[in-house]
A and B are shown apart, each in its own frame.
Chain A
C-alpha cells in the first residue's frame, strides 16, 4: 500500500485533553493531524483513551481543554457541522432492538436530513454491502451479534460522511466476518475517499488497514507513524525469553545489560504472551531464526526438555518474560543460553521473530497490548459485548 501525500488535513487536533471527575486524565494533551483520505489506526490497551478521543471529536463529550477541527469546523463552535461530517460506529451496541434493521437505517437517514428517495436508495445500497437484505425487515433483537455489528456499520455510512470513526469495528466477530468488514473498510476508503479513524487492539487489523498508526497509552501518544516505519525503528530481531519465575529476572538482567549487541531490554508483564507472532523455538534446538511468519497457526508453546515443569506456581505479579532487541538474533541465541547458565536461571522458552507492531507497542510502553488495565466496569462491558457478539443473551 503506497500512501499518497494527503491534499490537506481533514482533522486537526491540538492538545486535546479530557479529565474525568477531576482526576482521571483519560486523554492527556493529544496533538495530531489526519490527512484527507487517510486511514489512521488508534492502537492502545483498555482504558488508553481511544474512545474518549473519538467522543470528543464527534462532539459527544466536551474537552476539558485543547481543541480540534473536523472537516474545517471547530468541535466547540460548530458542533452541528462537525456531526454532519462524521459517521460514528460506536464501540458499544447502539441499535434500537425493538425496531427492524430497515427502520434503524431509516431513522438514521431522517436524522441526517436525507430525503425520501435518497434514503430508500442508500438503504438498499448499504443493506446490499453488509448483506442484510433478507433480514432487513426483522426486528433487530432477532439478529446475531455479527449481523448487529454489520448493521451498525451500514448505519454509520448511510449519510456518506466525510470522516468515519470506527471504534473496534470487529470486536467479537468471527474471522470471515472480520475479513469482509476489513475489505469493506478498504473499499470505502479507496472508492468513496472516506477518511477513517479506527481503534483496535488487534495489531493485524492495524497493520492490514492503516496507513498510519497512533499508539496511545495512558491518554498520551507514544508513537505515530506508518506501520513499516514503526517496525523499522526496531532494527534486528526480537528474542523473547520466558523464565520459570519472575525472581530469576533480576539475576540475569545485569549480565544482559553489559552486552552491547543487545540494544534494548523490555520486561513484559503479561505471562501468556499471545501477541508475539512468530516461530517458537526450544533452547536445545538453536536453529537459525526464521523470519517472522505471521499468523502461524501451528505455533505451540511447550517447556524445553532440559527444563523441569514445575508445579503451578502462584501467578507472580511481576514479569516472567524479557524481550530483547538484538542484531542478528538467530546467532545470538547460544550466547543468551550460556548467559542463562552463568546466571543459574531456568529458561522455559526462547522465541525469535521479526519486530511486529506488538513489539513496537511493548518497546514504547513496556507492556503488552493485551494487558487488562481497564477498570472493572470496562472488563464487564467488554465481556458483555463479546457475549452479545456470540449471540448469547446478556444477564440483567
Chain B
C-alpha cells in the first residue's frame, strides 16, 4: 500500500515527544545523575589504578562511552514508549487519524532521536565541566560533529525500541528487554576498555554491536583520531555501519508498526 508522508503529521508527533520529554524532568535528572556517578566512580576512582588509555586520562577515555550509554538508554526507552501508547490508548487516536502510519512512526523516531540527543548534549556538557575535555577550537568543532553522530545513533536505537514496542503485548517482557538487549549493547560497546585488550571471541562480539561503532565515532569526534581503535579509516567504517543499522532497523520498525492492531 502506498503510504504518503505528511510533514504536518511527522511534526506533530515529534512535537509531542519534545513536550513529554521536557515535562518529565525526573527522567532527565536521573539520567544525568546516573552518568555522573559512572564518571565519578569509574573515571576518577578506577582511573587512579588504570592510569591513561590511548594517551588520554581514563576519565577522558570514558566520557564518550558514558555519553553513548545515555543515548542508548534514552532512545530505546523512547522507542518502547510505543507500547505505552498502545496500552494507554493514545495510539488509537493516532491510528484513526487520516495520516499514514509511516508518518507517525517517522515522527516518533525523529522525536526520540532529538530528545535522546538533547540528553547527549547535556551529558557532554556535564563531562566537560568535570574536566573530561579540554576546551579547544578542535573540540568545539568536534562537538558539533558529535551531535550529528548522536542523531544518527539514536535514530537507529529508537527504531529498535519501536520494533520491540510494536511486537510486545505487555510490560512483563520489560525485564528481558533490559537484560538481553540494552545491557549487552552497552557492555559490548567498548566503554571501559579498548577492543584490543580482550580475547578474540569477545572482540568479535563487540564488532557485532552497533553501539561499538557509535562510541568509536564519538571518541573520534571528541578526542581525535589518536584513540580510535579501527585504524585510520575507522570513522568511515563506523559511519557506514551506523547508517546501515539505522536504515535496516527503521525499515523493520516501520514494517512491524504497520502490522500493529489496536
Contacts and interface: CB of A to CB of B under 8 A. Distances in A.
Interface of A: 55, 58-61, 80-81, 83-84, 86, 88, 90, 92-99, 103, 107-108, 110-113, 155
A55 B93 CA distance: 12
Contacts of B15: 107
B48 interface: no
Contacts, number: 73
Given A61-B262, A110-B8, A110-B12, A98 B94 contact: no
Contacts of A88: 92, 96
Contact of B23 (A59, A61, A98): A98
Nearest to A98: B20
Contacts of A112: 97-98
Nearest to A59: B96
Interface of B: 6, 8-9, 11-12, 15-16, 19-20, 23-24, 88-90, 92-100, 261-262
A111 B262 contact: no
B96 A103 contact: no
B96 A95 contact: no
Given A55-B262, A111-B97, A94 B92 contact: yes
Contacts of B8: 110-111, 113
A103 B16 CA distance: 9
Nearest to A165: B96
21 contacts: A59-B96, A80-B98, A86-B96, A88-B92, A90-B92, A93-B88, A94-B90, A94-B93, A95-B90, A95-B93, A96-B20, A98-B20, A99-B20, A107-B12, A107-B15, A108-B93, A110-B8, A111-B8, A112-B98, A113-B98, A155-B93
B262 A103 contact: no
A99 B19 contact: yes
Given A95-B90, A111-B8, A111-B93, 8 more contacts: A58-B96, A60-B95, A83-B96, A92-B89, A94-B88, A94-B92, A99-B19, A107-B15
A138 B55 CA distance: 54
B12 A60 contact: no
Nearest to A84: B98
Q: Which of B90, B93, B96, B97 has the most CB of A within 10 A?
A: B96
Contact of A111 (B9, B19, B89, B261): B9
Contacts of B9: 110-111
A155 B12 CA distance: 16
A60 B88 contact: no
B89 A94 contact: yes
Contacts of B95: 60
Contacts of A93: 88-89
Contact of A60 (B23, B90, B92): B92
A81 B98 CA distance: 7
B261 A61 contact: yes
Nearest to B24: A98
Given A60-B96, A84-B98, A107 B261 contact: no
